[in-house]
Amino acid sequence: MTTATHFAPITARGTARPGEIDSRPVYLGFGFSYLFGHGAAALSRGETPLLTLPGWLPMTLLLGGFAVGTVLAILAATRAQKSLSGRELLSHKLIGAAWVVGMGGLFLLISGLHTLPDMPNVQSLLWPAGAGFVVGLLYLGEGAVRGNPLHYVLGAYLALLSAGSLFLGTPALFWALAIAGTGGFLVATVLEHRRLAATR
């Protein structure tokens, strides 16, 4: 799930540098995932839930949004890599593979903790926070590899927000991710729009 995410400065002929694309669809895809997935969890979890929802619904909404964002990210990365070669292409492929390693490692970590006797419910907290933390770290790497400060800052924000949300417990964790997480993606979308306009 790589997110080749920065758009090129436009040259005198109006063409973009190789390997750079518009990140707005990816940001919006993940933003809606945070809004509906974590939002549904925030409304239906805790001692006095505001809504009664099926237990599977929040996670389904979250994963559905992530699936849309992932597809958009893969399409973006594929288009970007077609114009690259040599060491630059290798860097893009390696940072793309890091998504598989990161999410695979997160799955093993949470599944392993879930099997411990004193931690049966760890998945309900660690999946939302852990996934955001891993995505944030991967965004940091992508921003550095592709020279995209906006993507890098968004990654730092997501990593710190996700890790810090664990201190809040349920349902405040979900409220923080739904509101602040979605807000981060929306702000990044607006800034990406301005950045693209400035390069034209």
Residue 190 has pLDDT above 50, yes or no: yes
pTM for this prediction? 0.81
Q: What is the structure's pLDDT at 182?
A: 95
Specify the pLDDT at position 7: 36
Secondary structure in 3-state letters for 1-33: CCCCCCCCCCCCCCCCCCCCCCCHHHHHHHHHH
128-137 pLDDT, tens digit per residue, is 888 899 989 9
- Quick: pLDDT tens for 143-161: 888 888 999 999 999 999 9
d(Cα 180, Cα 42) in Å, to the nearest integer?
13
| Structure confidence by residue, pLDDT tens digits, 37-78 | 999 989 987 777 787 788 778 888 887 887 787 777 777 777
